[in-house]
Structure 1
């Protein structure tokens, strides 16, 4: 039962971080709710990796709220630059 609770916490945290990351990046981001949650979770690990680069620790770790949002912004910028352009 503890694992299910942790999954829901990660999904909620991912949603909040993903929404904040999308809010801070200008322009249109073509993704739905699941994409936003995935953005937040991946952004959290990207922020954790940035923390590892600059401060040490574990290379594959989740980050705090600020580094997670920074990671989500970076991941979203990469996603937008690689997404095919629509005419």
Structure 2
């Protein structure tokens, strides 16, 4: 899978995570994309440790794990951002 596919996959995962956890976050589409991409890697890492297998390709379970990873990163991002500006 090419880098553009991973960026698109991350963008979609980040947008869904943002939809599940709405709120005012700075950064816009760039931060949402980065959170989604890194969230995909985090979700894959979590999946490989919990299920014993890896995330393979562009499929539904990979997408679910990418969204889970994005949700975790979005929560961490909000905790860090709100503490630094409180």
Question: Which category describes the TM-score, using the shorter chain as reference length?
Answer: 0.7 to 0.9
Structure 1 regions of 5+ residues with no counterpart? none
Q: Relative contact order (C-alpha < 8 Å, sep 6+): which is higher?
A: 2
The equivalent of 1:53 in structure 2 is 49
Higher Cα Rg, which structure: 1
The equivalent of 1:35 in structure 2 is 31
What is the CA RMSD across the aligned residues, in angstroms? 2.3
Structure 2 regions of 5+ residues with no counterpart? none
| Count of aligned residue pairs for this structure pair | 81
CA drift at 1:85: 2.2
The equivalent of 1:74 in structure 2 is 72
Q: TM-score normalised to the size of structure 2?
A: 0.80
Given the alignment of the two structures, is residue 22 of structure 1 paired with residue 18 of structure 2, yes or no?
A: yes
Counterpart Cα distance in 2 of 1:81 and 1:21: 15
Q: Which has the higher helix share?
A: 2
